[in-house]
Structure 1
Amino acid sequence: MQLHDVWFVLIAVLWTGYFFLEGFDFGIGVLTRVLARDRAERRVLINTIGPVWDGNEVWLLTAGGATFAAFPDWYATLFSGFYLPLLLILVCLIVRGVAFEYRHKRAEERWQRGWEHAIFWTSLLPAFLWGVAFANIVHGVAIDAQKNYVGGLGDLLNPYAILGGLVTLTLFTFHGAVFAALKTVGDIRVRARATAGRLGLVTAVLALVFLSWTQAHQGTGWSLAALVVAVLALLGALVANRLAREGWAFTLSGLTIVGAVAMLFLALFPDVMPSTLDPAYSLTVTNAASSPYTLKLMTVVAAVFTPLVLLYQGWTYWVFRKRIGVQHIPAAEHAPAPAVEG
């Protein structure tokens, strides 16, 4: 295996880690308006990801940086062709981070309600748009001989890509519901399991159609194996959720994401962005890669720092592993401010 193949695998691992971790992050954000019944329960859901959401986004930064350094032509074509949807994702992530930090700064009803709506929409939109983007990457887009994307925004909103967006949205929300059941106590825990059960059934149908479509279009034996793992893991997560085995349900819902993302990358390889105009115009791990020296240097850096990042993030999850409930939320944090008499 050559270094450009190694870095394709490493980038796939980084994206898989990002979707595994940020997936339940986005799901919790969506559930703040779907599962939570009042401000106290929304605060409980937000607190389940409060210590980890920003660390989860490190995986996105690393995946983007690795793509830029290891496959500059892939990065250039992707970010120029998908400029508007990726910009919208970036804006959502910025606003989402601000919303988490600023929501509790003031007690006024209007202030808190506005930031809560921001958390919901800036979680829902990226969860959908990441699926649209990756579906287009795998299925292929209009790339010319100069490695430029020559399609329009409307070309990215094709039926296959929209289905991909719906799959990531429902899968991430299901993952978030399972995480909420794992991290909470009381009535919200029970309702999170019930919500996960309903979402899981919808996710299973959409994911099976999308992954089967992908396999039929450009699948290999390896991608078929990953598809089977994803489907079986999702069914297992549903069973574990029904039996109130939240730890197993979360592990298996995460394995579903791992299997689905692995299936997409396995179906994509050795391309990194197929061209729908002419297969000869496709970007591959060979013609889009950096020089061997660059890849070698990156490999050394990754071998040193990746274990350190994993150890730190694992320690963070261990420290904040306890469940929380409404009883842990001070009343002052979710009560509206008293009216000011004139």
Structure 2
Amino acid sequence: MKKKIAVLLGGTSSEREISIRSGNYIVQSLLKSGFNVHAIDTYNYSITDLKKEKFDKVYIALHGKGGEDGSIQGVLEYLKIPYTGSGIMASAISIDKFRTKLLWKSHNLPIIPDVYIKKNAIPLNTYAIKQILKLKFPVLVKPNNQGSSIGITLVSSAKELSKGINLAANYNDDILIEQFIIGKEYTVSILNQKTLPIINISTRNSFYDYNAKYKSSSTEYLCPSKLNIKQEKKLNEIAISAWNILGCKGCGRIDVILDHENKFWLLEVNTIPGMTNRSLVPIAAKEAGISFDKLVLLILNINNKNF
């Protein structure tokens, strides 16, 4: 009898459109692999019905709030339905950029200098302004728990700060202001505690923003990354440490930047990476000789060898 799989996609987050695209690629792949698979948009679906409909496992393709923040994982744990990816705590921490960085900092991993503020503290008091001005401009102003570079502003001077903070506050009550590091961006995909080939992301934009990720045809993904052996070893060590410190499982990505002094800086973690034709994990897997269909099966079967 075919295993019955629910692919959760869509949802209510600002990354809904990307989630639908990822989910549909996964559905088509699982159909080819012979599963009884159903695409379920959580926007208009009661998750408790998964138990009633006797699904054997859930493949989570939800990005952002409601998918990567531990909430859906908590419901699935309660329903006792196996699911892909990281658990409740790792998901909840990983979507929170500020708390993720606190954990990384406690283990002496390289994090970018930042200032954390709350929406209810706007307009900012003198102390907060002084802390921000200690950072070197330009800075990135970002919502604390958004993905896909949504709501992020590159701010070049103190005069532009308010605009960036107000935009970020539209997406989240917690806002992170980070020093902008000029350098080359890399991403390390992790599959079942092992790293895949590193990708160098090259964009003509000021940084790897939403447009560069999903719309621009000029963005390039170099895999192999052209890092030397020593650099690759160092970056893989940093990525695995960052992943394990958060308690992540399954498949995900660690994003970093290499500055002009050849120092790596951690940017963020992605516990439910995109799975479209432009997505980074499938590109890295292909370089490692893993087809998209095999990748989907590997993710489905992690921590469930007999599935």
Q: Calculate the TM-score normalised by the size of structure 1.
A: 0.28
Q: Looking at secondary structure, tell me which structure has more helix per residue.
A: 1
Structure with a larger share of its residues in strand: 2
User: Could you say which structure has the greater relative contact order, defined with CA pairs below 8 angstroms and 6 or more residues apart?
Assistant: 1
Which is greater in Rg? Answer: 1
